[in-house]
Amino acid sequence: MKRFFLAAVPVLFSFIVLGQPKHEFRAVWIATVDNIDWPSRGNYNTALQKAEFIRQLDMHQRNGMNAVIVQVRPACDAFFPSSLEPWSEWLTGKQGKAPVPYYDPLKFMIEETHKRGMEFHAWCNPYRAVFRINHSSIAASHITKIHPNWVITYGDTKYLDPGNKEVQLFVVSVIRDMLKRYDIDGIHFDDYFYPYRIAGKEFPDNASFRKYGNGMDRDDWRRSNVDSVILMLSRTIREVRKTCKFGISPFGVWRNISQDPEGSNTHAGQTNYDDLYADILLWLKKGWIDYVAPQLYWEIGNRYCDYETLLDWWSKHSFGKDVYIGHALYRTIEHPTAAWKNTNELPDEIKLLRDNKNVEGSIYFSASNFYSNPNGWADTLKDDYYSTPSLIPSMPWIDTVTPKSPSIYNFIESNSKDADGNFTLYARANTAGETETVKSYVVYLSPSYAYLGALPTYVIPASNIKDFQLSFLESQIPSDWNGCYIAVSSVDKENNESRLSNVIQLIKTNKGWTIPK
């Protein structure tokens, strides 16, 4: 039996706090390219890397996050042992060099994330091969050395050619290998498909266009290349790990309305469809991806790309899939404008997305920015907007089977002054004929039986435990409550929740809360 003591944080038991939703995806992007977030630059020590990642996880969990999106393949390299690609230079200082002492960072990160009841999404870049030509360390086993004919140089970066059929198959093989070996909750791609345009320079893919173009318009051909990879990845994910999600975090504008009547009322200089050749709407319509997380890195009222305008546009173009909004925490640090010095900007963005029924959550770039608590926003999330835990939305097109309800088999009131809690709840999973893997238990406290189950009070990572006990103090129940009802549920790896367990009722007397006889 595993024991938990609920720390004295009365706000956890507030029934309604700032309209917080029961289901909401709350995540951070942890970028490894150029050591943006992890590991910190020059930290090539295994023990220190582990400690640093745990410190980040604990911080994000305190702030209310329930998922992390970690970059594990930034430039055709790997943060895990791979026969297909070399170890990342940002892990050990030299591409191809294994960690010393040896460990598997991806396995470690997944395990630590799951211990905390959080989801782990593996963030991969499909085509970037050499981040900076004159600065990057390149191993002999790197794909640019093995297949130089697959590579295109554009600016100071090298890319795998998206139009090369062998490249497309290679990208899929890397993801397939990862899915087979790791307990990943999601595969995640960001906005880098074809590279952002460099003024006055055309992406030099003439050779592959002549070979594979088949008389198509070049722009349509480029989009079809990216479509092909997304479709193959979608099928591979369902084949290898069918409950794994597939998410894309695109640039915030699909197309401007000046280019397409279906586009947003924006004035972006580059767009997904016309410049990055990523037809996100097609992928959503076809059901090839499970969620979209547009990077809405503009403030509310921006004259070119207004946050509220784009929030509304993406919510109306989700085609039944989940929408999570990418927030620009980094804008408070990197050359902040007056808008990003405004302490109300992020809270107002969250209020707007919560008012939109088709938007299910948020992702923040980037993770390490939270260390400095810019504009006090880490505290704002922890103490206000994310002060109660939230369950990750389920995806019925992936799985609808719910786990069995757990049961509360004992509930004890302690009168001992030495006890660490006035009440102790004992619960156990229902394992008889269970087919679902339970990832967490949810404890609900409510002032009303009618609203029991409306808002989680505490989420306990299952970690394969079947029985658990939870102690809490009488003083943690809000003093203005006239009743207190307690129940437990189970949540599986696909975020489907069971029905509630049997219910415990506490009675309020002149001497405090007590268990009715």
pLDDT of residue 10: 37
Q: What is the pLDDT of residue 26?
A: 98
**Residue found under tokens 């055309």:** 202
Residue 482, both tokens: 């006239």
Beta-strand ranges (E) seen in 77-215 are 119-124, 128-130, 151-154, 157-160, 186-189
State the sign of the Cα–Cα–Cα–Cα dihedral 430, 431, 433, 439.
positive
What amino acid is encoded at 15 in this protein?
A: F
The arithmetic mean of pLDDT across residues 399-427, rounded, is 86
Residue 464 is predicted with a pLDDT of 73
The two domains 19-252+324-385 and 407-514 share their CATH topology (first three levels equal):
no
Percent of the chain with pLDDT over 90: 89
- DSSP structural state of residue 300: T
Tokens of 284: 């959503």
User: SS3 of 3, please?
Assistant: strand
Beta strands in 279-335 (DSSP E): 291-292, 322-328
Structure tokens at 447: 């002032």
The structure tokens 């997380």 sit at 293
The pLDDT of residue 143: 98
pLDDT digits (tens, 9 = 90+) for 166-198: 999 999 999 999 999 999 999 999 999 999 999
Q: Is the pLDDT of residue 383 over 60?
A: yes
Neighbours of 262 (CB within 10 A): 12
Give the pLDDT band of residue 7 (cuts 50, 70, 90): very low
Backbone angles phi, psi at 468, to 5 degrees: -145, 160
Classified by CATH at the fold level, domain 407-514 comes out as Immunoglobulin-like (2.60.40)
3-state secondary structure 233-281: HHHHHHHHCCCCEEEECCECCCCECCCCCCCECCCCCCCHHHHHCCCHH
Query: Does residue 85 carry a pLDDT above 50?
Result: yes
Bridge partners (DSSP) listed for residue 328: 365
Residues 274-283: what's their mean pLDDT?
98
The residues near 410 (Cβ < 8 Å, ≥ 6 apart) are 424, 425, 426
Note the pLDDT tens digit of each residue in 449-484.
Answer: 999 999 999 999 997 788 989 998 888 899 899 999
> What's the pLDDT band for 4 if we cut at 50, 70, 90?
low
Beta bridge partners of 491: 440, 497
Q: Output the CA torsion sign for 330, 295, 156, 69.
A: positive
β-bridge mates for residue 26, sequence order: 362
- If you average pLDDT over residues 122-147, what whole number do you get? 97
Amino acid at residue number 163: G
Mean pLDDT across 404-412 = 96
Confidence tier at 365 by pLDDT (50, 70, 90)? very high
Instruction: Output the average pLDDT for the chain.
Output: 94
Average pLDDT over residues 3-9: 47
Residue 129 one-letter amino acid? A
pLDDT digits (tens, 9 = 90+) for 21-70: 999 999 999 999 999 999 999 999 999 999 999 999 999 999 999 999 99
Distance CA 18, CA 350 (A): 11
Q: Where are the domains of the chain?
A: 19-252+324-385, 407-514
**Which residues have a Cβ under 8 Å from the Cβ of 214 and sit 6 or more positions away?**
221
How far apart (Å, rounded) are the C-alpha atoms in residues 267 and 247? 26
Three-state SS string over 18-79 comes to CCCCCECEEEEEECCHHHCCCCCCCCCCHHHHHHHHHHHHHHHHHCCCCEEEEEEECCCCEC
Q: Residue 383: name the closest of 373, 372, 393 by CA.
A: 373
What's the mean pLDDT in 338-363?
98
Separation of alpha carbons 271 and 193, rounded Å = 12
Residue 16 reports pLDDT greater than 70: no
**Angstrom distance (rounded) from CA 344 to CA 328:** 14
Percent of the chain that is helix, strand, coil (3-state, to 5): 30, 25, 45
Mean pLDDT, rounded, for 482-506: 97
Q: How far apart are CA 353 and CA 294, in angstroms?
A: 13
517 band by pLDDT with thresholds 50, 70 and 90: confident
What integer pLDDT is reported at residue 15 of this predicted model? 47
CATH of 19-252+324-385, one of 3.40.50.20, 3.20.20.80, 1.10.3720.10, 1.10.150.20: 3.20.20.80
Q: Show Cβ contacts of residue 299 under 8 Å, excluding neighbours closer than 6 positions.
A: 307, 331, 337, 339, 340, 342, 345
Q: Determine the average pLDDT of the residues in 507-511.
A: 90
CB 446 within 8 A of CB 477: no
pLDDT at 466: 85
Q: Per-residue pLDDT averaged across 320-334, rounded?
A: 97
Q: Are 85 and 73 in contact (CB under 8 A)?
A: yes
What confidence category does residue 19 fall into, taking pLDDT thresholds of 50, 70 and 90?
Answer: confident
Q: In this predicted structure, what is the pLDDT of residue 14?
A: 45
